[in-house]
Amino acid sequence: MGKEITPREANYRIAQGALLVDVREDHERELGMAQGAVGVARSELEQAPHRFITRPDLEVLLICQSGGRSMLAAEQLQRLGYQRVTSVRGGTLMWQAEGFPMTRPEEPVDEDFHERYSRHLRLSEIGARGQRRLEAASVVVVGAGGLGSPAAFYLAAAGVGHLRLVDDDVVDRSNLQRQILHVDADTGVPKVESAHTRLSALNPRVAIDPVAERLDSANVERLIADADVVIDGGDNFPVRYLLNDACVHLGKPLVYGAVHRFEGQVGVFDAGRQRGRAPCYRCLFPAPPPPEAAPNCSEVGVLGVLPGVIGTLQATEALKLLLHIGEPLAGRLLHFDALAMRFRETRLAPDPDCPLCAPGVPFPGYIDYAAFCAG
C-alpha cells in the first residue's frame, strides 16, 4: 500500500522542497488547485514519470479530488521505482476544508460548461478537449420528425455547437406519437420552429439554425457544405439518394437511418472521405425499391418508440465521428427488430463499379431524384 499524509503535513513538506502534483484531469484543475501544485493528469504521469520527477531523490506528493486516484498513482510510481512518493489524504476537498490556500486560473471559469457536461468530462475518451471539439462542431439534421427529433435532442444535450435542422413540414397531431420535439400546442407550426424552441430550452449554448426548406439539388450543397456530419432523418428515397450523392461529392460522413413498422436500420456512409474503402448508399441500394415495396409510415404505421431507438443510435454514431472515438458503422448496417428485441449486423463492401463512389469516378452530377425513385 502507498503512504498517505495529511494536508497539514503536506503543506509543511512543500515548504521544505517537496513537489506537489495534482493528478486530476484538466477540466477538474481549472476549478482550482492546491497552492504550489503542478498539474499532470494521472495517466500522463504514470506513462512518463521521468518527465516530471527530474531527480530520483526528489520527494513527490500527489493530490487528487478526494485521495483515491492519488493513492493509486503513488502505488504505481512506487512499483516503477520511485520510493519517495506519497498521497495527500482527502485530496483537494480536505485541503480546502482545512483552510489551506488554493490557486485559481486567471481566466474566468465557465461554470456552466463544467456543470452541464460533467459526465462527459469524466470520460477519458472525451474530457474537456473532446467536449470543446463538440462545441466547435456542426451537424446538419435533415428532417425534424421521427428520427430527427431524438437525434437532435441528444446532439443538443451533448453540446454539439451548431445544429442546422432542415424540414419544410408543419406539425400535425399524428406526428406527436413519435416526433418528441413537438407538443400538441405546436400543431400547424413549422417543425423547425418547434424544434428550435425545444432545443434552445434544453441547451442555450447550442446555436440552432432552423431551415424551413425542402431539400433539393439546388440547395443541398449550400445547406450541408459547412457540416462535419450529416444525419439523414428523412422518410423518402429521393432525399436519401440526394443526400448520399451530395455527401460523397463534398466528402461528408452521412449517418443513415430508416424505420418500417417494427424494424429499423442504422448505418454510416463515408465513401466521400474513404473512396474504395467504405461504401455509399448506392452501393447498398443501386436502385430504389418500387413504391409498393416500401410504403411510408403514414401508409403502414410505425411503432412510436422505434424512431426513438434508431434516431438515438444515429446521434451516437454522429458523436463518435465528431470525437474520433470507437468504431463507426461505416461498412456495416445495423438492423433492429423491436418485436424480437434483436440486433443483427450486415457487412457492406464498397461496390468497385459504383457509378458514384468508385475510385477515380468523377461526380456525375445531380439528377431528378423524384423521377429516379418513381421508377
Residue 280 is part of a domain; what is its CATH number? 3.40.50.720
pLDDT digits (tens, 9 = 90+) for 148-191: 999 999 999 999 999 999 999 999 999 999 999 999 999 999 99
Whether pLDDT at 289 is above 80: no
Mark whether 163 and 276 lie in a shared domain. Answer: yes
168 within some domain: yes
Please provide residue 334's backbone torsions phi and psi, each rounded to the nearest 5 degrees.
-100, 125
Grid cell of 150 as nine digits: 431524438
Instruction: Indicate the number of domains in the chain.
Output: 2
* Nearest 10 degrees: Cα torsion 113, 131, 309, 343: -150
pLDDT digits 0-9 by tens, 49-90: 999 998 878 999 999 999 999 999 999 999 999 989 999 999
- Co-location of 192 and 322 in the same domain: yes
Count of CB atoms situated within 10 Å of the CB of 202: 16
Regarding whether 279 and 239 lie in a shared domain, the answer is yes
Q: Which of 52, 79, 109 is the last residue of a domain?
A: 109
* Range of lowest pLDDT (45-54, 194-203, 278-287, 290-299): 290-299
- Residue 172 in any domain: the answer is yes
* pLDDT for 293: 58
Q: Are residues 49 and 187 in the same domain?
A: no
Cβ count within 10 A of residue 294: 15
Domain range for 17: 3-109
Is residue 270 situated within a structural domain? yes
Residue 114 placed within a domain: no
Most distant pair of Cα atoms in the chain: their distance? 83
Q: What CATH number is given to the structural domain containing 90?
A: 3.40.250.10
Same domain, 147 and 261: yes
Helix axes 306-323, 148-158, angle to 10 degrees: 40
Instruction: Record the pTM.
Output: 0.82
349 in the same domain as 278: yes
8 A C-beta contact, residue 311 and residue 151: yes
Residue 299 scores a pLDDT above 80: no
pLDDT digits (tens, 9 = 90+) for 315-360: 999 999 999 999 999 999 999 999 999 999 999 999 999 999 999 9
When pLDDT is averaged across residues 119-124 and rounded to a whole number, the result is 88
Q: How confident is the model at residue 128 (pLDDT cuts 50, 70, 90)?
A: confident
Residue 46 vs residue 26, higher pLDDT: 46
What band does 17 get if pLDDT is binned at 50, 70 and 90?
Answer: very high
Whether residues 221 and 295 fall in one domain: yes
Determine, yes or no, domain membership for 71.
Answer: yes
Contact criterion met (CB below 8 Å) for 273 and 348: no
Of the residues 297, 354, 357, 373, which is catalytic?
297
3-state secondary structure the chain: CCEEECHHHHHHHHHCCCEEEECCCHHHHCCCEECCCEECCHHHHHHCHHHCCCCCCCCEEEECCCCHHHHHHHHHHHHCCCCCEEEECCHHHHHHHCCCCEECCCCCCCHHHHHHCHHHHCCCCCHHHHHHHHHCCEEEEECCCCCHHHHHHHHHHHCCCEEEEECCCECCHHHHHCCCCCCHHHCCCEHHHHHHHHHHHHCCCCEEEEECCCCCCCCHHHHHCCCCEEEECCCCHHHHHHHHHHHHHHCCCEEEEEEEECEEEEEEECCCCCCCCCCCHHHHCCCCCCHHHCCCHHHHCECCCHHHHHHHHHHHHHHHHHHCCCCCCECEEEEEECCCCEEEEEECCCCCCCCCCCCCCCCCCCCCHHHHHCC
Residue 294: band (very low, low, confident or very high) from pLDDT cuts 50, 70, 90: low
Q: CB of 358 within 8 A of CB of 286?
A: no
Average of per-residue pLDDT across 126-130: 90
347 part of a folded domain? yes
Q: Rounded CA gap, 176 and 132, in Å?
A: 34
297 is catalytic: yes
Domain termination site, one of 45, 76, 109: 109
Single-letter residue type at 314: Q
Let me know if residue 77 belongs to a domain: yes
| Cα gap 201→94, rounded to integer Å | 37
Pair (150, 295) in one structural domain: yes
Same domain, residue pair 230 and 259:
yes
Domain stops at, among 76, 109, 142: 109
In-domain check, residue 115: no
The pLDDT tens digits for 273-287 are 999 999 999 999 998
Residue 130 and residue 93 in one domain? no
Q: Looking at the structure, do residues 198 and 234 belong to the same domain, yes or no?
A: yes
CB 49 within 8 A of CB 80: yes
- Do 60 and 168 share a domain, yes or no? no
